[in-house]
Amino acid sequence: MKYRLAHVLEYAAARTACGLLAAVPPRAALALAWGPVRLAFALAGKLRARTRRRLRQALGPEKSGKELDRIAWLAFRNLAFTAVEGMRLPGIRKEWVDRHMDPGPLAEVRAALAAGRGFIVAVPHMGNWELAGIALQTQGVNLMTLARRQRNPLMNAWINRIRTRTGVEAVDTKSREVASVAQKLNLGNRVLAILPDVRAKAGGVRVCYLGVETEVPAGAAHYAREADVPVYTAEVVRTGWARHGWRLTGRIEPDRAQAPAEDRRRIMQYVMDRFGESVRAYPESYFWFNKRWVLGEEAKS
């Protein structure tokens, strides 16, 4: 198979950066990233202005401009730190996860699985969500995620190899395997992790999120009804530079007595309500930079 030059260069750059960052201690890797990230943020005027508009749209008029600028910088720094940690994933071991990731409600997770069925956990783009999934996997929880195929086939294959090493099962949303997700949940020992806080391109569910009407993907509700399993909501928060905490924030069951469309909307509204509470409590941990901005076009004022 032939690859485009741009694909080869992107892959080579990513592998080189990954190797360099893996060669130094974790906090040193974050420190190496801090300076360039601070400079990039200072020079990115359009990004800062857009992020401030999004923060104002989501958090309301109560926050001062200075506070919004502080949140924007910390969110950008945290995103960069998450990227650095992602590049180090091939070398991450259970011991490192145990030192840097709070155990969270593992007892609650195990109790839910002991009931004989799997469940879905819906997580907003907060903190290092992939690391939280690996933390669950290292504790013996069989985790699945839905993964979008990368445009660069070299990067796609490499990322899939990394995920395979962690033990997390990544189901390609464009593959036939996606049809087996509900069946796997019914085995009783699987957890499906979904991040639904992006704007749906088509076939979404209309919800109110952070005070704005928007459409989000209905995957969490769809699989909950198909497998007849509950949806838990959770949040992941970075504490300082290298510590991470997570907790479950809610739980909702599908209601087969309701019409499918109405039940999906009910489930997704509950999920987004819990997400809104988490984002407002920890805005520095949220991913405000997604191209598919969940609240649509933010006001230009």
Give Cα 193 distance to the centre of its chain.
9
Domain limits, the chain: 5-285
Residue 92 has pLDDT above 70, yes or no: no
Closest CA to 142 of 194, 90, 192, 106: 192
1: pLDDT strictly greater than 70:
no
The average pLDDT across 9-30 equals 82
Residue 98 has pLDDT above 80, yes or no: no
Q: Check residues 38 and 201 and name the one with the higher pLDDT.
A: 38
Q: How many helices (H) and strands (E) does the chain have?
A: 11, 8
- 7 band by pLDDT with thresholds 50, 70 and 90: confident
State the DSSP code for 188: S
Tokens read off for 152: 């660069």
Higher per-residue confidence, 265 vs 186: 265
Report how far residue 280's alpha carbon sits from residue 25's, in angstroms, rounded to the nearest whole number: 33
More confident residue, 178 or 97: 178
The structure tokens 């992790």 sit at 193
As a whole number, the mean pLDDT across the chain is 87
| pLDDT (0 to 100) of residue 235 | 94
Mean pLDDT of 121-143: 84
Average pLDDT, stretch 171-194?
83
